[in-house]
Amino acid sequence: MEASALQMEHECAVKLNQEKDFKIAELKREREQMAADHRDTNEMLSTSVPGQKQLTELLRDKDLFVETLKAKATEAQRNWTRKKPSSRPERNVFVKS
Protein backbone atom coordinates (compact mmCIF):
# COMPACT_ATOMS: atom_id res chain seq x y z
CA MET A 1 0.00 0.00 0.00
CA GLU A 2 2.82 2.36 0.81
CA ALA A 3 4.38 1.78 -2.62
CA SER A 4 1.09 2.74 -4.25
CA ALA A 5 0.96 5.99 -2.26
CA LEU A 6 4.55 6.75 -3.21
CA GLN A 7 3.75 6.01 -6.85
CA MET A 8 0.77 8.36 -6.73
CA GLU A 9 2.80 11.08 -5.03
CA HIS A 10 5.50 10.65 -7.68
CA GLU A 11 2.95 10.96 -10.48
CA CYS A 12 1.54 14.13 -8.90
CA ALA A 13 5.04 15.58 -8.60
CA VAL A 14 5.79 14.72 -12.24
CA LYS A 15 2.49 16.29 -13.36
CA LEU A 16 3.17 19.44 -11.31
CA ASN A 17 6.68 19.61 -12.75
CA GLN A 18 5.29 19.33 -16.30
CA GLU A 19 2.77 22.10 -15.60
CA LYS A 20 5.53 24.34 -14.27
CA ASP A 21 7.73 23.55 -17.28
CA PHE A 22 4.81 24.45 -19.56
CA LYS A 23 4.26 27.73 -17.68
CA ILE A 24 7.99 28.56 -17.88
CA ALA A 25 7.98 27.92 -21.64
CA GLU A 26 4.88 30.11 -22.02
CA LEU A 27 6.49 32.93 -20.02
CA LYS A 28 9.67 32.66 -22.12
CA ARG A 29 7.60 33.03 -25.31
CA GLU A 30 5.81 36.05 -23.84
CA ARG A 31 9.15 37.58 -22.82
CA GLU A 32 10.57 37.04 -26.32
CA GLN A 33 7.47 38.60 -27.86
CA MET A 34 7.70 41.57 -25.50
CA ALA A 35 11.40 42.00 -26.36
CA ALA A 36 10.55 41.94 -30.08
CA ASP A 37 7.74 44.46 -29.54
CA HIS A 38 10.14 46.64 -27.55
CA ARG A 39 12.70 46.57 -30.38
CA ASP A 40 9.99 47.45 -32.91
CA THR A 41 8.76 50.31 -30.75
CA ASN A 42 12.29 51.66 -30.29
CA GLU A 43 12.89 51.48 -34.03
CA MET A 44 9.61 53.22 -34.77
CA LEU A 45 10.35 55.95 -32.21
CA SER A 46 13.88 56.45 -33.47
CA THR A 47 12.48 57.21 -36.93
CA SER A 48 9.42 59.17 -35.84
CA VAL A 49 11.07 61.44 -33.25
CA PRO A 50 13.33 63.16 -35.81
CA GLY A 51 10.34 63.41 -38.12
CA GLN A 52 8.31 65.00 -35.34
CA LYS A 53 11.12 67.46 -34.63
CA GLN A 54 11.31 68.35 -38.31
CA LEU A 55 7.54 68.81 -38.46
CA THR A 56 7.62 70.98 -35.32
CA GLU A 57 10.34 73.15 -36.86
CA LEU A 58 8.34 73.45 -40.08
CA LEU A 59 5.23 74.48 -38.14
CA ARG A 60 7.22 77.10 -36.20
CA ASP A 61 8.57 78.50 -39.46
CA LYS A 62 5.05 78.55 -40.90
CA ASP A 63 3.67 80.35 -37.83
CA LEU A 64 6.46 82.92 -38.03
CA PHE A 65 5.75 83.43 -41.74
CA VAL A 66 2.02 83.85 -41.05
CA GLU A 67 2.69 86.41 -38.31
CA THR A 68 5.08 88.32 -40.58
CA LEU A 69 2.55 88.22 -43.40
CA LYS A 70 -0.21 89.49 -41.08
CA ALA A 71 2.00 92.36 -39.94
CA LYS A 72 2.83 93.29 -43.55
CA ALA A 73 -0.85 93.08 -44.53
CA THR A 74 -1.81 95.33 -41.62
CA GLU A 75 0.89 97.84 -42.57
CA ALA A 76 -0.19 97.75 -46.22
CA GLN A 77 -3.80 98.31 -45.16
CA ARG A 78 -2.76 101.34 -43.08
CA ASN A 79 -0.72 102.77 -45.95
CA TRP A 80 -3.56 102.23 -48.39
CA THR A 81 -6.04 103.87 -46.02
CA ARG A 82 -3.76 106.91 -45.61
CA LYS A 83 -3.18 107.29 -49.35
CA LYS A 84 -6.73 106.48 -50.40
CA PRO A 85 -8.48 109.38 -52.16
CA SER A 86 -11.42 110.85 -50.33
CA SER A 87 -14.73 109.26 -51.04
CA ARG A 88 -16.32 112.47 -52.34
CA PRO A 89 -16.00 113.05 -56.07
CA GLU A 90 -13.39 115.58 -57.11
CA ARG A 91 -14.28 118.41 -59.44
CA ASN A 92 -12.45 118.44 -62.65
CA VAL A 93 -11.19 122.00 -63.01
CA PHE A 94 -10.42 121.53 -66.69
CA VAL A 95 -13.98 120.79 -67.78
CA LYS A 96 -16.31 123.74 -68.38
CA SER A 97 -19.62 123.46 -66.65
**Number of domains into which the chain is organized:** 1
Report pTM.
0.50
Whole-angstrom distance, CA of residue 27 vs CA of residue 17: 15
Q: Does residue 96 lie in a domain region?
A: no
Q: Does residue 90 lie in a domain region?
A: no
For the stretch 26-79, pLDDT in tens is: 999 999 999 999 999 999 988 898 889 999 999 999 999 999 999 999 999 999
Q: Does residue 27 lie in a domain region?
A: yes
Whole-angstrom distance, CA of residue 81 vs CA of residue 87: 11
Q: Does residue 45 lie in a domain region?
A: yes
Domain that holds residue 46: 1-71
Q: Does residue 88 lie in a domain region?
A: no
pLDDT of residue 8: 96
Instruction: Please provide the size of the chain in residues.
Output: 97
Q: Does residue 42 lie in a domain region?
A: yes
Q: Does residue 50 lie in a domain region?
A: yes
Q: Does residue 14 lie in a domain region?
A: yes
The radius of gyration computed from the CA coordinates of the chain, to the nearest angstrom, equals 41
